[in-house]
Structure 1
Amino acid sequence: MKEVIYTENAPKPIGPYSQAIKVGNMLFVSGQIPVDPKTGEVVKGGIREQTRQVMENIKAVLEAAGYTLEDVVMAFVFLADLNTFQEYNEVYSQYFKKPPARVTVQAARLPKDVLIEVAVIAVR
């Protein structure tokens, strides 16, 4: 049985998808971009600020489903420019005591022309 997860503490979906879907003990969190859920706007700043907002959005969706960042087993990271990898990685690594498996790729273009998008899978 699948359950749709939604929270006002993360950006509203901008298309026909759910913030997350829970199936059994697994949670599949859709790609989060650096949109402030309070304003609906992309946060100002560079990759560090955008990475921080993305991780806060992911954290909010996880919490809405009863999960934490420690439950994340896989992350899919899309960067607009791999030259920002080191800066993004510095912020990203602050969110995990034990980092999950991860894929990081450069994307030709991301929604709203943001610098980063991250999707995760969590298990508990």
Structure 2
Amino acid sequence: MTRQRPAGCALALQHNLKTAGENGVPIHTLHSVGGAANSVLWTQIKADITGKVFKIPSSDAATTLGAAILAGVGTGVYRNCEDTVQRTVRIHREQIPNLEHQQVYKQVYDVYLETYDKLKDVFPKMGW
């Protein structure tokens, strides 16, 4: 693997996933839409850091599709959200974690956590 600088967002995502899991909300697969999802490299880095499979749908219009799904369920066109998603969302691509890369990113993640712990009291002063 060539040394790449992982994005802080991917490290923060891993932190959020870990926190969710520790609080009884395990997450196994992630779906990604929008500009960043169009980048194979970006979604691969996120998959490698988190160890999760990323599914990228063929449609990039998540907001519009979500509104249409809710309207369809609300008007009785579809039974529920799960049924609607099954019938309307098509997965275009999947990013599978590369375990070799994940081991390298694990070291970076540990530094991220150390840095986060040292800075977390400063975030409120920044309005975060």
TM-score normalised by structure 2 residue count = 0.32
Bigger Rg, which one:
2
TM-score normalised by structure 1 residue count = 0.33
Pick the structure with more strand per residue. 1
Pick the structure with more helix per residue. 2
Structure with the bigger RCO (C-alpha within 8 Å, sep 6+) is: 1
